[in-house]
């Protein structure tokens, strides 16, 4: 933004590089007009008269300017030359006013339509006189200057858009150059850019999306200071599952940042898309619950714009859930059992417990096959009193086949309950598996 120094002496304002000094564009001060006359005087006699006539023509032009100035007068809102005299402006209402006489400043005050959520406010200066380079300054309700802008060209209209959380603002309108006068029309309006969920700027004001899936949440970040908070409950409760977050349809000017908090307000993760306009996907493994998601503009590259948020469970776990403890072991009944398709979605928490009954003292064999590439199986076999045997498969993706003959403390018998626990050997192990148990 070009800063204009109002302290400059008036004479420096009309340097040759300034458009006001281009020939014929502006009325000249009287002494320069006189010089023109003198130039005419130095000409030849007969032609001097003509030159004089030309001078008159010039005067006619000045008269035209004078006529235009004659139409200008102080506007009906005067006096409003100080903040305490500000004219109250209703939104979306044309205020036709003038900067007149030279040096006039016009103060206005307006209240935004948004009261407790972010929106953008447009200050529009239209119908600007051709001699006027309009300059505005915006102040908060305490009179602190927030920002400003000038049209940059005489006669140009000015549109100034500012982000606002709502409130009262003072506006100062004046000529950028102290000798200029002219008319303008002021109109202030809310652009109504925020989403239907605003205000949701704090965790307490989170928009409640209910139980997942939450699809087609069309949000807008209006200011880099705005936060969009959403509350949701996972579809899974107790069962470990992936919850997938997608932010798509991101505006070119916005780099989205997503943070997740648990019901107590503790931070779970914080991710950003990496570039303005880029989509963001993140998955969380959780046994379920109530969460708070916060969407903002990424702090290191502030921007604003629209986005779409989708949150859903992936239903990745198996049909035997919840079976994460011995007491919730899935009951497979009496041997034999086969084609049990399990899934470890997350080793830290997702334990898969099953129980079955042997029918005799004949040994039984557990065969775990079709093991996922990211899963090394850790298998524990227990009887009712708690005697146990634990074994790992050789490596990720490997089958694990073991006979009760190889279990020192486990022995089958008629109508005897045996528990097995399947999990990943290490904390980042996950994947599908299949098993059968036969005598």
Among 227, 352, 382, 383, which residue sits at the site for Ca ion (rule: CB under 5 A)? Answer: 352
Contact stretch for Ca ion (CB under 5 A) within 40-48, 104-112, 207-215, 390-398: 104-112
If one asks whether residue 104 binds Ca ion (CB under 5 A), the answer comes out as: yes
According to DSSP, residue 2 is labeled P
Q: Could you tell me the smallest distance in angstroms from the CB atom of residue 118 to Ca ion? A: 7
Kindly tell me which of 14 and 337 has the beta carbon lying closer to Ca ion.
337
201 touches Ca ion by CB under 5 A: no
Pairing assessment for the beta strands 256-262 and 280-297 based on DSSP bridges: antiparallel
* Residue with smaller CB distance to Ca ion, 154 or 430: 430
Mask for 301-330, x = binds Ca ion (CB under 5 A): ----------------xx----xx------
Binding-site member from 132, 138, 198, 258 for Ca ion (CB under 5 A): 198
Q: Which residues contact 285 (CB under 8 A, 6 or more apart)?
A: 240, 241, 242, 243, 345, 346, 349, 350
Query: Considering only residues 140-169, where is the footprint of Ca ion by CB under 5 A?
Result: none
Among 81, 225, 310, 374, binds Ca ion (CB under 5 A): 81
C-alpha–C-alpha distance, residues 309 and 428, integer Å: 28
Q: Whole-angstrom Cα distance, residue 271 to residue 248? A: 14
Is the distance from CB of 107 to CB of 94 less than 8 angstroms? no
Provide the angle, in degrees to the nearest 10, between the axes of the packed helices 45-71 and 30-42. Answer: 160
List the 145-150 sheet strands across, edge first. 87-88, 105-111, 168-175, 134-139, 145-150
* Minimum gap (Å) between residue 79 Cβ and Ca ion: 6
40 vs 54: CA distance, rounded Å? 9
Q: Which is nearer to Ca ion, 131 or 226 (CB)?
A: 226
Looking at the Cβ atoms of 80 and 378, the one nearer to Ca ion is 80
Stretch that binds Ca ion, among 79-87, 326-334, 377-385, 395-403 (CB under 5 A): 79-87
Residue placing its CB nearer to Ca ion in the complex, 68 or 163 = 163
Q: Which is nearer to Ca ion, 164 or 323 (CB)?
A: 323
Phi and psi at residue 406, in whole multiples of 5°?
-95, 5
Structure tokens at 40: 């005419």
Considering only 133, 174, 180, 228, the residue that binds Ca ion (CB under 5 A) is 228
Minimum CB–partner distance for residue 45 and Ca ion (Å): 51
CB of 228 to Ca ion, least distance (A): 4
Nearest CA among 122, 253, 89, 109 for reference residue 191? 122
If the CB atoms of residues 180 and 412 are measured against Ca ion, the closer one turns out to be: 180
* Stretch binding Ca ion (CB under 5 A), from 72-80, 355-363, 405-413, 424-432: 72-80
Nearest to Ca ion of 240, 364 (CB atom): 240
**Residues 6 or more apart whose Cβ sits within 8 Å of residue 106:** 75, 77, 80, 81, 87, 97, 99, 172, 173, 174
Distance between alpha carbon 387 and the CA centroid of its chain, in Å?
56
Among 51, 80, 376, 393, binds Ca ion (CB under 5 A): 80
Residue 380 CB, shortest distance to Ca ion, in Å, is: 13
Q: CA-to-CA distance for 96 and 184, rounded, in angstroms? A: 6
Stretch in the footprint of Ca ion (CB under 5 A) among 13-21, 223-231, 325-333, 410-418: 223-231
Asked if residues 98 and 75 have their Cβ atoms less than 8 Å apart, the reply is yes
- How many positions of this chain bind Ca ion (CB under 5 A)? 16
Helical (H) or strand (E) element with 381: strand 377-383
* Structure token digits, residue 245: 């977050």
Distance between terminal CA atoms of the chain?
84
If binding is defined by CB under 5 A, does position 175 make contact with Ca ion? no
User: Which spans of this chain sit near Ca ion (rule: CB under 5 A)?
Assistant: 80-81, 104, 106, 194-195, 198, 220, 228, 317-318, 323-324, 343, 350, 352
């Amino acid at each position: 933004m070009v800063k204009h120094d109002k302290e400059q002496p008036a004479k420096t304002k009309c340097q040759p590089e300034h458009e006001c000094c281009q020939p014929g564009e502006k009325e000249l001060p009287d002494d320069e007009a006189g010089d023109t006359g003198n130039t005419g005087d130095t000409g030849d006699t007969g032609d001097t008269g003509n030159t004089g006539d030309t001078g008159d023509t010039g005067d006619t032009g000045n008269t035209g300017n004078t006529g235009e100035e004659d139409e200008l007068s102080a506007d009906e809102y005067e006096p409003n030359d100080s903040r305490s005299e500000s004219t109250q402006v209703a939104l979306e209402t044309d205020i036709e006013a003038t900067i007149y006489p030279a040096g006039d400043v016009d103060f206005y005050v307006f209240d935004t339509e948004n009261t407790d959520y972010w929106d953008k406010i447009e200050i529009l200066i239209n119908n600007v006189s051709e001699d006027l380079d309009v300059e505005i300054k915006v102040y908060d309700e305490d009179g602190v200057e927030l920002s400003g802008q000038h049209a940059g060209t005489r006669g140009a209209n000015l549109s100034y858009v500012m982000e606002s959380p709502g409130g009262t603002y003072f506006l100062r309108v004046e000529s950028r150059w102290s000798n200029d006068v002219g008319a303008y029309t002021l109109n202030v309006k809310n652009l109504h850019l925020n989403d239907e969920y605003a205000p949701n700027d704090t965790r307490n004001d989170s928009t409640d999306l209910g139980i997942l899936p939450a699809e087609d949440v069309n949000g807008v970040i209006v200011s880099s200071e705005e936060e969009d908070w959403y509350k949701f409950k996972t579809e899974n409760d107790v069962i470990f599952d992936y919850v997938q977050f997608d932010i798509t349809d991101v505006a070119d000017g916005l780099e989205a940042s997503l943070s997740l908090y648990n019901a107590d307000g503790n931070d779970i993760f914080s991710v950003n898309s990496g570039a303005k306009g880029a989509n963001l996907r993140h998955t969380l493994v959780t046994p379920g619950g109530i969460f708070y998601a916060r969407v903002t503009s990424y702090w290191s590259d502030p921007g604003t714009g629209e986005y779409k948020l989708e949150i859903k469970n992936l239903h990745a776990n198996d049909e035997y859930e919840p079976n994460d403890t011995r007491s919730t072991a899935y009951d497979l009944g009496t041997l034999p059992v086969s084609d049990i398709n399990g899934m470890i979605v997350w080793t830290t928490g997702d334990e898969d417990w099953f129980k079955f009954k042997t029918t005799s003292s004949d040994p039984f064999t557990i065969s775990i096959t079709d093991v996922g590439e990211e899963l090394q199986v850790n298998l524990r076999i227990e009887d009712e009193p708690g005697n146990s045997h634990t074994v790992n498969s050789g490596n990720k993706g490997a089958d694990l086949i073991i006979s009760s003959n190889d279990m020192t403390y486990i022995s089958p018998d008629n109508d005897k309950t045996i528990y097995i626990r399947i999990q990943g050997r290490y904390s980042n192990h996950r994947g599908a598996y299949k098993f059968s148990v036969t005598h």
